[in-house]
Amino acid sequence: MHIHLDSTTPIYIQIAEWLQHEIIANRLQADEKVYSQYQLAELFNINPATAGKGLTILLEEQLLYKKRGLGMFVATDAKDRILSKRRNEILTKMAQEIVLEAQRLLVSDEELLALIQKTQEELK
């Protein structure tokens, strides 16, 4: 993955998203040590403070936990929580955007549903 500097999303959120992505993809297992802020900084060529901010977001959401002096580890239920959160938040938000765009383009509800179904079939 590459950090997009000119993306509208702040870098620290991109970092948090990347870590979540790694957890979902099982590249970071439960109770496994995650990258330190310095490792992340070197990995993505970003300021360690920015990387730390990304980690803090996950820490606040309790997807990570801290062991004093050892670093941060993936919470046991992290993957499940991320998945459910994604379902709730991200999908809802994306649905909203699709619906708004459909309205703007004067696409009827039936047409929109059909499009979603069709896309689902294609990507299966």
Partner 1 sequence: MNVIQCEKLSKKFGRLHALQDITCTINGEKIIGVIGRNGAGKSTLLTIIAGFLKPTNGYCQVFNENPFNNIQAAANSILIDDQLSFSDYLSLEEILKMGADFYPNWQNELAYRLLHYANIDLSVKHQQLSKGQMATFNLVYGLVSRCALTILDEPMNGMDEAIRTDFYRAILKEYIAFPRTILIASHHLQEMESILEEILLIDEGTVVTHASVDELKEQLIALSGPSDRMKSLLSETDVYAQQIVGGVSTAIVDASKLFITEEMLRTKGITKSALTASEICRYLTNHKGSDIDAIFD
Binding stretches for partner 1 (CB under 8 A) = 3, 5-6, 8-12, 38, 41-42, 44-50, 53, 96, 100, 104
The helix (run of H) or strand (run of E) holding residue 74 is strand 71-74
| Residue closer to partner 1 (CB basis): 41 or 75 | 41
Nearer to partner 1, 12 or 73 (CB): 12
**Rounded to an integer, what distance in angstroms lies between the CA atom of residue 45 and that of residue 112?**
41
Q: Which is nearer to partner 1, 6 or 110 (CB)?
A: 6
Alpha-helical regions (H) of 1-124: 11-24, 37-44, 48-60, 78-85, 92-104, 109-123
Q: How far is the CB of 124 from partner 1 (least distance, A)?
A: 31
Handedness of CA 17, 18, 21, 23 (dihedral sign): negative
Min dist CB 3 to partner 1, Å, is: 7
Closer by beta carbon to partner 1, 18 or else 44 = 44
Estimate the crossing angle of helix 11-24 against helix 78-85, to 10 degrees: 120
